Amino acid sequence: MLPPVILVNEQDEPVGTMEKLEAHQKGLLHRAFSVFVVNKNGEMLLQQRAQDKYHSGGLWTNTCCSHPLPGEDDLAAAHRRLMEEMGFDCELREVFSFTYRAAFDNGLTEHEFDHVFFGTYDGAVLPDAAEVQATRYLSLDAIRQLLLTAPDTFTPWFHLAFPKIAAFIEEQG
């Protein structure tokens, strides 16, 4: 059985909990987070989701994403999952949030209030093979090009979050 997710309303106020798969089967709004990490050259660390993930297997996406556990702070959850999925941790800060809904061919629906975190890291990346098939650092311009030429190779939430996080990164210099 998968862990529970935090069901929320449109203002991100908790309204209950539900087992993760059931929430995705019913398409109910729940809290999530996405972590975007860049190196000192401003290149973004992307992960290719493991092929056997419950949805979006084999697609490229941001460094790490998941759901906080009931009673868990979003930032603490982001640090926990960054270590579990990618084998490292770094300083993170929340930069924005957004809500999205995406239906998948397997009948599951992501309907998430997504908190977006940003960090910088230049050390070793040791991904969990059960979660991550591959990793790579790419420049923001290379990612923009791939989103135009190979859009189906990226997750739906990456398409939505990338323009705003890229603008944030570029503003930071």
**pLDDT confidence of residue 51:** 81
Q: What residues have CB less than 8 Å from 94, skipping those under 6 apart?
A: 74, 75, 115, 116, 117, 118
**pLDDT confidence of residue 31:** 98
**CB half-sphere exposure, 125, CA atoms < 13 A:** 23
pLDDT digits (tens, 9 = 90+) for 65-93: 999 999 999 999 999 999 999 999 999 99
pTM over 0.75? The answer is yes
**pLDDT confidence of residue 55:** 67
CATH architecture under which domain 4-157 falls: Alpha-Beta Complex (3.90)
pLDDT digits (tens, 9 = 90+) for 2-42: 789 999 999 999 999 999 989 999 999 999 999 999 999 99
Q: Where are the alpha helices (DSSP H) in 27-153?
A: 74-86, 140-149
Q: Which residues are catalytic?
A: 65, 112
pLDDT bucket at 165, cuts 50 / 70 / 90? very high
- The bridge status of strand 14-19 relative to strand 30-38 is unpaired
